[in-house]
Structure formats: structure tokens, C-alpha cells
A and B are shown apart, each in its own frame.
Chain A
Amino acid sequence: DAGVIQSPRHEVTEMGQEVTLRCKPISGHNSLFWYRQTMMRGLELLIYFNNNVPIDDSGMPEDRFSAKMPNASFSTLKIQPSEPRDSAVYFCASSPQLHSNQPQHFGDGTRLSIL
């Protein structure tokens, strides 16, 4: 079975540009999570969805960040405008159900560098 698929794997862009990160969760999983990983702050949960509906976006750092899940098989995380401090590895994860101790399955991440 295919795991969580993220694209692109690497993104280098100049500050001020719009960045769009993409995620395809595991088929049949109802919950989707976006994380940001840095050395200083570790893994930070940005937002998560259940059945395509955003449940908690309290981790989204500011209005420059937005996330959508138009259907069960696709989600995007957008940064507009991007800033150098947004440089990090962004992970998407999915889980079978929201209210259970099912593991979160992570993609391989997108390494984002904002120059």
C-alpha cells in the first residue's frame, strides 16, 4: 500500500513568493495532520482535519499560512507571502480515525528553504 505522499520533496524559493505544499493521505484514513519540524522547536502541529473539516488550526503561526482539504485524498498547505523564518521541514500525516489510538502515518516531508 502507498503511504502518505508529499510533494515537492524539496522547495527553494525567494522570500515573498507563494509556496504550496501538497499531501495525499493514505486511502481510507479520515484524519490528516500538518506538522512543521525545526531544530529549535521540534515537531509542531499546525492544523488537523477530520473528514475533510479543519478541527484545530491553533498551531498555524499566522495569517500567512492556510490549509485546505477539498476532498478525502488531497490537502494543501500554503504560505503567502513566504519568509526566511518559514524554512523548515513540513510533514503531513494521516490516521484512520480521529477518536482512537491509531498511529499517525507520516510522509517523507517537504524541505522548504526560503532565501
Chain B
Amino acid sequence: QQQVKQSPQSLIVQKGGISIINCAYENTAFDYFPWYQQFPGKGPALLIAIRPDVSEKKEGRFTISFNKSAKQFSLHIMDSQPGDSATYFCAAHAGNNRKLIWGLGTSLAVNP
């Protein structure tokens, strides 16, 4: 059972556009929601993370929007660049349980 559902599976965006990736979860005990970025041939790397006590977190061109009542969170990449082309994973975990529950990933391609 997929506890974190991620969409879309793939995304193509023009340079300068906005990339939006969505995730939904069921477990209300989740209290930490990171996004990881993975380039081909590399392991995932933490991009940005949010806790449910805030509705938005911004770091440069990357923003997480969090809707606690809807149990949804999303990643927005503003002014998308070809260098942003990668696979993006959302994840979640609860309290002392260090098991990150991962979405299946979104392959993003930014056309020049």
C-alpha cells in the first residue's frame, strides 16, 4: 500500500515555467515532509523540507506548499531551468520512526 502518493509520474516544462509536483498522504502521524532531488547516476539529495506547523516554505526558486487539512503537499519550482531536470521524490515520516515513506518519484524535464 502506497502511503505517499505522488503525481504526476513525469512532467515536461519549458525553461522559465513553473513546475508543480503534488503528494498526498493518509497517515496523520506524519510530521516531517522532505523533498529529494535525484540526478542520473547519483543518489537522492535533500532539496527542501517542511513540518506541518507551517503552510509554506521557500528556498530560492523552490517552494513547498502544505495543506494539513487536505493531507497534501506540493513542490513548486519557479523559473524552471534545464539544470532542474531530475527525478523528484516526496517523502514523509512520523516522530521517532526514522523510516521515510517515499513517493514513487516524478521525472522532470525542462526544455531549453
9 pairs of residues in contact across A and B, judged by CB atoms under 8 Å: A42-B102, A43-B105, A45-B99, A56-B99, A98-B98, A101-B32, A104-B100, A106-B43, A109-B41
Interface residues of A in 86-115 (CB under 8 A from B): 91, 93, 95, 98-99, 101, 103-109
CB-CB under 8 A from A91, the residues of chain B are 43-44
Taking Cβ atoms with an 8 Å cutoff, the residues of A that contact B are 4, 31, 42-43, 45, 48, 50, 55-56, 91, 93, 95, 98-99, 101, 103-109
| Chain B interface size, under 10 / 10 to 19 / 20 to 34 / 35 or more | 10 to 19
Taking Cβ atoms with an 8 Å cutoff, the residues of B that contact A are 32, 34, 41-46, 49, 51, 89, 96, 98-100, 102-105
Give the distance to chain B from A56, nearest Cβ to Cβ, in Å: 6
Which 7 A-B residue pairings sit nearest by Cβ, starting from the closest? A106-B43, A103-B46, A42-B104, A43-B102, A101-B32, A91-B43, A99-B96
